[in-house]
Chain A
Amino acid sequence: DARVTQTPRDKVTEMGQEVTMRCQPILGHNTVFWYRQTMMQGLELLAYFRNRAPLDDSGMPKDRFSAEMPDATLATLKIQPSEPRDSAVYFCASGSLDAEQFFGPGTRLTVL
């Protein structure tokens, strides 16, 4: 049963610390998306990759967020330095055909 996996599932950190979230897309999927979900803003697209190349990261705060795909099995989202307003659930999704996206379980980030 192919699934998108994300680690960690929960992260509590203090303001100013670096946070790294990891995602393993479904094998064979060539598109990876990062979303942020909050009560106030709902689901926001932060960035996406196709064939490991970043195509659009216009949804990310550029000064503190960065997203990479070091290889086809790993996508990372990094926040440095973290701030309380970054507290949210971060989802990774992967896809290939028909625009269908498969979501991971999310990383719940709390920045104190």
Chain B
Amino acid sequence: AQSVTQLGSHVSVSEGALVLLRCNYSSSVPPYLFWYVQYPNQGLQLLLKYTSAATLVKGINGFEAEFKKSETSFHLTKPSAHMSDAAEYFCAVSKMDSSYKLIFGSGTRLLVRP
């Protein structure tokens, strides 16, 4: 069965610093992987997705993630944090059946210090 683990429920960085949010997955077959962002009092918004094409995926707002099969990881990065990046970030893996269900990680809250 697929699962997702996000390491660190809270991550704090200074404005301008590198953002690194960790996600590890387990799947018996190559999965589809997603990162979503949730701003306060809003729904989840797709940042980027991996669907078995290029392993380095670029998303919105300067974020990118790299699919590493050998490490079963899909970490999210951004070179320079902005105050507006403060939000909760969810990694998700798609069940590789016809259901299109997503299995979400528990989320990582990103705090950006001025």
**A: which residues have CB within 8 A of B?**
4, 31, 33, 42-43, 45, 48, 55-56, 91, 93, 95, 98-106, 108
Contacts and interface: CB of A to CB of B under 8 A. Distances in A.
Given A98-B51, A101-B102, A105-B43, A43 B90 contact: yes
A101 B90 CA distance: 13
B106 to A, nearest CB: 5
B61 to A, nearest CB: 17
Interface in B67-108: 90, 94-95, 99-102, 104, 106-107
Nearest to A91: B43
B46 interface: yes
B106 A104 contact: no
A48 B101 contact: yes
B94 A91 contact: no
Contacts of A31: 100
Contacts, number: 48
Contacts of B44: 91, 93, 103
A42 B107 contact: yes
11 contacts: A33-B101, A43-B107, A45-B102, A55-B99, A99-B94, A99-B102, A100-B49, A101-B46, A101-B100, A105-B42, A106-B43
Interface of B: 32, 34, 36, 41-46, 49, 51, 90, 94-95, 99-102, 104, 106-107
Given A104-B43, A105-B42, A99 B104 contact: no
A100 B46 contact: yes
Contacts of B46: 100-102
Nearest to A92: B43
Given A42-B107, A43-B104, A103 B99 contact: no
Contacts of A98: 32, 49, 51
Given A48-B99, A48-B101, A102-B46, 7 more contacts: A43-B104, A91-B43, A98-B49, A99-B34, A99-B102, A101-B46, A103-B36
